[in-house]
Amino acid sequence: MRFLGYLILLAVLGYGLWPYYAVYQLDDAINQEDTSELAALVDLPAIRDNYKTRIADGVEGMLPAGEAGGVMDWLRRNVGELGDAALEQAITLPWARQTLREAVGRATSQTPPYLLAGIDYAFFESYDRFLVRIGELGKAPTHIRLELEGREWRITDIIR
């Protein structure tokens, strides 16, 4: 029975350390010119979807309600389509790499940027979501959300 308890404790510790290992891998990936390592750690469609949601929420608050078939209704429908094309062009692996490098640079002033030195907070949001904050609160931090996708932790959102 004691052996089973130790085995469960070891499994819980391993699960708790798993996303920190993904962050360690990310630290190495952002300092490489080749983005193949970074590609395994980043879910670009999820990042684009999260940005699209934030943009749509902002547009809904800015555009006044219009009648069906009116100009405002047309504008609301087409902003989403235009936004999709723009997000596909803007949110790429080089963008993710550069965004993370800049965030670490602001937080640490190191060259090359050392991600682990710039992390101010890193912990679970839920059993399958992990949040990393680069920089201190109140000083324009960058948040990275990792989610467990299958057997890998991947970045699903970068919030600047």
Query: Which residue, among 89, 116, 91, 115, has the nearest Cα to 102 in the 3D structure?
Result: 115
Per-chain mean pLDDT for the chain: 87
Q: How far is CA 46 from CA 25, 36, 39, 135, 158, in A?
A: 20, 18, 13, 23, 10
pTM, two decimals, is: 0.83
Q: Which pLDDT does position 63 carry in this prediction?
A: 58
Q: How far is CA 23 from the centre of its chain?
A: 12
Query: Domain extents for the chain?
Result: 2-159
Instruction: Divide the 160 residues of the chain into consecutive groups of 10 and give the mean pLDDT of each group.
Output: 92 94 94 92 94 76 60 66 78 93 90 88 96 93 96 95
In which element (H, E) is residue 110 found?
A: none
Token pair belonging to 1:
């029975």
CB 147 within 8 A of CB 141: no
